[in-house]
């Protein structure tokens, strides 16, 4: 396997490193080292710097405010940002910049791209994702939220759940059933819907970590314009599947970096609690380290397919299952190292509401115990571990399909 990068991307890497050296303080340890208010202030200012440099829209065509560079340039940028301990924009940029913008570039009309892309880039429009429903999470094609035409508008009724950041968002991209006569994977459309309107109710609910991140979103006669369908009416499933592949390459490159930094912090935690010479703790830390190396090699495999433009395949399920199950083990170890101290969290909890704490975070019991709780949700969101195992059993191993319940 040749894992070297071509010269043009290494030139860009030098540019990115120079930018980081010029803009970050000399004593920079990572955004996780800041307190909550300072971290949010830094993240907002940092986003403006990324926009001005063209980094937030690196692969977009120049006519939409991008730099027109390749996917591999994007991977290099994400690697350098992760190593420096700085974010790629604000949390909701995952949905606006990464997911929706790339979906519009592939499937959107010229009017949709010209209107929404500049507003996404400027941060004027904040987006969230309306996919999962109470009875259609991992089996997304079973969704029941409906959209029916009414003159020049769509009228939407139904409910979405686990909607990250909806209470901070202006718009939501929604999968809704627009043809009840079609099979469940067909007859679904991808709609762009404003949240600030009568007929939309957003209800945040508190996670067991104590954070407010997820929401329920209720649609009761909500409306959006008829031309705000992306990819054509009844073609939403195809559009949705392409969106799910957007982050594969970036995550394949950055996950090993973030998880390795977490293990390095875990080693320091063991030293702090005088457990670094305990043979069982040392063995468990070595196990974690070996898993990170496997994750890195798996990432190269996924990255290769992503750069070639391949659609998401079984390797996506392998990666999701791998890192989410691993993360429960490494956070279990952190709790065991802290012992009773873990039951009385002190210090700043993590700023991030998924995966690891931010680079540079202190080894506080609040950081580790909250990350421990967050790790459990990682085995549920973006496809549960059980569903990922079913996918791999049926599509990779060729095992019989799980029996489906039928109505009497």
Read off the tokens for 126: 């904040």
d(CA 361, CA 155): 46
d(CA 237, CA 334): 40
* DSSP sequence for 193-258: EESSSTTEEEEEEE-TTS-EEEEEEEEEEEEEETT-EES-TTBHHHHHHHHHTTTHHHHHHHHHHH
- Measured N-to-C along each axis, helices 71-84 and 248-272 cross at an angle, to the nearest 10 degrees, of 20
d(CA 239, CA 178): 14
Q: What is the dihedral of CA 220, 159, 106, 396, to 10 degrees?
A: -160
- 210 close to 223: Cβ distance less than 8 angstroms: no
- 77 close to 99: Cβ distance less than 8 angstroms: no
**3-class secondary structure, 300:** helix
Rounded to a whole number, what is the largest CA-CA distance in the chain? 72
**CA-based nearest residue to 243, from 87, 64, 97:** 97
Among residues 79, 247, 250, 262, the one annotated as catalytic is 247
d(CA 267, CA 282): 9
Residues 6+ apart with CB under 8 A from 60: 66, 67, 68, 101, 105, 117
Q: Is residue 152 flagged as an active site residue?
A: no
Residue in this structure with the two tokens 């065991």, named with its chain if needed? 336
- 79 close to 39: Cβ distance less than 8 angstroms: no
Residues 6+ apart with CB under 8 A from 358: 30, 31, 32, 39, 85, 87, 350, 351, 352
Residue in this structure with the two tokens 């994977």, named with its chain if needed? 185
Read off the tokens for 187: 């007859």
Torsions phi, psi of 65, nearest 5?
Answer: 95, 10
Active-site annotation, residues = 247
């Amino acid at each position: 396997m040749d894992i070297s990068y071509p010269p043009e991307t290494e030139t860009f890497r030098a540019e990115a490193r120079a930018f980081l050296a010029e803009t970050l303080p000399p004593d920079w340890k990572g955004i996780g080292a800041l307190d909550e208010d300072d971290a949010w202030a830094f993240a907002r200012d940092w986003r403006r710097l990324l926009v001005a440099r063209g980094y937030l829209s690196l692969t977009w065509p120049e006519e939409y405010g991008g730099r027109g560079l390749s996917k591999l340039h994007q991977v290099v940028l994400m690697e350098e940002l992760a190593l420096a301990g700085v974010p790629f924009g604000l949390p909701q940029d995952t949905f606006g910049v990464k997911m929706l913008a790339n979906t519009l570039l592939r499937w959107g009309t010229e009017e949709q791209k010209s209107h929404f892309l500049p507003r996404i880039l400027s941060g004027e429009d904040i987006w969230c994702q309306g996919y999962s429903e109470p009875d259609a999470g991992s089996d997304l094609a079973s969704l029941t939220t409906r959209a029916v035409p009414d003159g020049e508008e769509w009228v939407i009724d139904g409910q979405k759940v686990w909607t990250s950041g909806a209470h901070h968002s202006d718009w939501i991209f929604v999968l809704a059933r627009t043809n009840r006569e079609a099979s469940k994977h067909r007859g679904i459309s991808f709609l762009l819907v404003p949240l600030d309107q009568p007929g939309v109710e957003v209800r945040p609910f508190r996670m067991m970590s104590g954070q407010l991140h997820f929401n329920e979103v209720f649609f009761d006669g909500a409306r959006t314009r008829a031309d705000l369908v992306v990819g054509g009416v009844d073609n939403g499933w195809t559009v949705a599947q392409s969106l799910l592949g957007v982050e594969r390459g970036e995550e394949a490159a950055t996950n090993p970096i973030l998880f390795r930094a977490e293990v390095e912090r875990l080693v320091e935690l063991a030293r702090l609690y005088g457990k670094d010479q305990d043979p069982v703790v040392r063995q468990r830390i070595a196990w974690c380290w070996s898993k990170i190396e496997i994750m890195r090699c798996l990432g190269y495999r996924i990255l290769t397919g992503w750069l070639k433009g391949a659609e998401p395949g079984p390797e996506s399920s392998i990666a999701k299952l791998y890192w989410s199950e691993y993360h429960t083990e490494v956070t279990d170890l952190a709790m065991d190292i802290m012992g009773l101290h873990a039951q009385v969290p002190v210090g700043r909890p993590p700023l991030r509401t998924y995966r690891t704490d931010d680079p540079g975070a202190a080894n506080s019991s609040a950081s580790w115990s909250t990350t421990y709780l967050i790790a459990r949700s990682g085995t549920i969101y973006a496809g549960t571990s059980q569903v990922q195992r079913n996918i791999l059993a049926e599509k990779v191993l060729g095992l019989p399909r799980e029996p489906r319940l039928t109505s009497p």
